[in-house]
Amino acid sequence: MYVIHEVYDWLHGFGQEVDWKSWVWNQFNSPKHMFISWLAIHNKLKTRDRLERFGICNDNRCLLCGDAIVNRNHLFFECNYSKRCVALIADWLKIRDTSYSIEEIWKQWCKHLKEPIYRKVGMAALSAIVYHIWFARNHVLWQKAVFLPKILCKVICIETVDRCRHLVNCKWDRNHCKWLFSLRASVP
């Protein structure tokens, strides 16, 4: 049995612990949201600035706002479109004065959402924002149509609450359940 653990440890590696782990690999996140968030935090998404460097794309302007050269930082969350989405979700979660940097926003939300279950729901919503902004960007690229931020945020809210409702267990007290169901009722 000891050999199996050694092999697992060798295969797993001994990389450094990252501080964003609790945001990206949150059990309340949908797997597809986790994957896109992981790619985003590592700056591995095929944004237009990267495609232009590879000679695949001639235009590197943001498809969502059309104002700036799109890179990871612009898309998450300097773009006016993504800022609007973040602001709507932050307001829904009662988070004030939110950051608009993918490197910092999750830290700020964690500080604001002190209760562990609230924090996990908030991190799931943040991961859903990253996924759906990427999805909206791709929708513009392929379908030539932009979702309204309010519609996109409604989908994010409903998806987040529905995913979290499936994870309610005996560790949740009545107040946690009421809060989650109040979130469902207050979808923007």
What is the number of other CB atoms lying within 10 angstroms of the CB of residue 156?
27
The count of C-alpha atoms lying within 13 angstroms of the C-alpha of 30, restricted to the half-sphere facing its C-beta, is 20
- Please write the tens of the pLDDT for every residue from 87-138: 999 999 999 888 889 989 999 999 999 999 999 999 999 999 999 999 999 9
Averaged pLDDT of the chain? 90
Report, in angstroms and rounded to the nearest whole number, the Rg of the chain calculated over CA atoms: 18
Is 61 in a helix, a strand, or coil? strand
pTM of the model: 0.88
Tokens of 23: 């945001």
Give the separation between CA 188 and CA 151, rounded to whole angstroms: 9
Residue 2 has pLDDT above 80, yes or no: no
Domain boundaries, the chain: 18-185
If you average pLDDT over residues 142-153, what whole number do you get? 96
* pLDDT number for residue 4: 65
Least confident of 53-57, 80-84, 138-142, 178-182: 53-57
Name the residue with tokens 């791709």. 138
* pLDDT number for residue 59: 84
